[in-house]
Amino acid sequence: MNYGFFKIASASLKLKIAEPTYNKNEIIKAIDFANEKGAKLLVTPELSITGYTCGDLFFSNSLQISAEKALIDIVEHTKGKDIVVAVGMPVPYQGELYNCAVIIINGKIAGVIPKIYPANHGEFYEKRWFQSGKDIKTNIDFYGQTVPFGNYIFDLGYGVVLGAEICEDLWVVNPPSNDMALSGANVIVNLSASDEYASKADYRKSLVENQSARLICAYAYSSSSIYESTTDVVFGGATLITENGATIAEGERFLRETNIVFADVDIEKLNTERRKNTNFVCKKEGIEIVPCKLNYISSDLEDRYIDPHPFIPNNDGKRLQRCKEIFTIQATGLARRMEHIGSTGAVIGISGGLDSTLALLVAVEAMKMLGKDNSNILGITMPGFGTTDRTYNNALELMRSLGVTIKEISIKDACIQHMKDIEHDANVHDITYENTQARERTQILFDMANKHGKLLVGTGDLSELAMGWCTFNGDHMCMYGVNASVPKTLVRYLVDYVASVSDKKTTDILYDILDTPVSPELLPPDENGKIAQKTEDNIGPYELHDFFLYNFVRYGFTKEKLQFIAEKAFKGVYSNEEIDKWLTLFIKRFFISQFKRNCIPEAPKTGSVSLSPRGDWRMPSDASFADFI
């Protein structure tokens, strides 16, 4: 299976101006190379058969005849090749000349798309030679084939619908690709001749990225190489492939040879995003779709990077900026709620673990926003049967360092009494033993919040909610949760971000907390007094579960596709068997834990994936997972 991936190639060609025979051979070489690499679509620059800068030679019958012969040879060469090729050439029609993209599939011309907006400003004066194809929609006899001529899109099968526009078409107020996308096109190619000058490359890239984001599509851009450079202009051969706002392949400019970049775009992801966006409504009567299906599309993902940590930007600068923004959103939400209800401060259970640490740091920032002293935060540490010296001391030291009010309440005696009351043997360390402690802590926190007129701040994170790794009516409950849409893998980076801007004492404590194994500490420590109950030993690595969570909730991927992309993302880290084991567990736990998520407290949404039943994720508690594993 290919799981919806579609390999695209964008080429900037070494060519000769006004020599279609030479250019034909370069195009054929590019076709062969792209085909060998498994590409299913190759886009070449504007007027790639003749060259863009031919000037008044476009009026020459000799050039047009040579271009026709070159096209015929290119079309013939594609027979038996499972690849779509977009080439550019001047096309005469009813006494006029049009700058066109010719779409070729397996020895046939699928369609001819004329440029809608010939560039006619600054260094461009295309209207001297070419007419606009805006109002053309017909069939023409084109070198022995009857083909669509005008603004058409092409159904390639497997969910791929192709549209094509030419250079300036993208730069205008209402690009033709807008209507193409609203008619179903999810892959747009742009055959371009974009010259270079200072800062233009950044603007051009931004334009392509933004258009792919706006249209929720893949956008492949190919521009003329340095061999188009003449008179007062220099071309650089820009090549870009973007997917829903992100550049996934970009070629080096100013090369002296043909340059081809490849990318595996995820068609299934794009189609899922469109279905979820109810404002993206395809026209009932839009641009006509030409059926021209490829054979089976396959991809080995050689040309696609699968991010193993999709919640975390892999660029240091962007990650720092993202953490700062999320932390501010969390604190702003908490400050607003406290201000609205007239709370005197916050109550937080501090365990010395990551989640409660982040919640405390958020509360401190909220106090700063409200102009209140940190002493208005009541931090309560509640040692239990599994509490270790390391987490206990870190909890106390962090609270002291931040200047919050500290309260210590041991839960051991209360839990022992409760287990006596319900006739449970305290030596049986089962789920009852564990949840007794979680619920006792929650009762203390709620009662202390009532007693002191403060808001109980929840600490549970998104990953725990996804896996149901929280005690129902225990740590599952609070008055306001600040971490509920922050995944575990991101919690670490948020704490690390605060550590980077804190005083040395606080920073040292935070780094030790970051270095502590994740654990609910509900089971007794080992013989050395260290944490015995490690969460990831029980439910699997959080980095895997966050990867599954992101791609399952946001894109609805099947188990098979999740396995496929996880194997690539975590190659050399986890075996295929390990991935399958934890993925199966993730799906099962995700389904059976929905009843917990259906009644979670309010919390600020901080990212694109949220499990709030009031917002992003609505699911019946009794849904079956049988067909999902």
Just list the catalytic residues.
Answer: 46, 115, 167
> Is the alpha carbon torsion for 170, 176, 178, 183 positive or negative?
negative
Burial (CB < 10 A; 0-12, 13-18, 19+), residue 596, is: buried
Q: How far is CA 260 from CA 101, 237, 453, 474, in A?
A: 18, 10, 65, 57
Closest C-alpha among 568, 8, 40, 38 to residue 261: 8
Ramachandran angles phi, psi of 147, nearest 5°: -130, 155
DSSP 596-622: HHTTPPP----SS----TTTT----TT
DSSP 422-460: TT--TT--SHHHHHHHHHHHHHHHHHHHHHHT-EEEE--
For residue 11, the SS3 value is: strand
Quick one: how far is CA 115 from the chain centroid?
32
Q: Which of 583, 575, 493 is nearest to 544 (CA)?
A: 583
Contact by Cβ (8 Å): 83, 31: yes
Q: Which residue has the tokens 């603004």?
A: 151
DSSP letter at 128 equals: G
H or E element that contains 256 = none
Tokens, residue 58: 């476009």
Phi/psi of residue 350, nearest 5 degrees: -110, 115
Using DSSP, state whether 335 is helix, strand or coil: helix
Distance CA 138, CA 149 (A): 5
CB count in 10 Å sphere of residue 401: 17
Of residues 408, 335, 346, the one with CA closest to residue 377: 346
Question: Are 35 and 83 contacting, i.e. CB atoms less than 8 angstroms apart?
Answer: yes
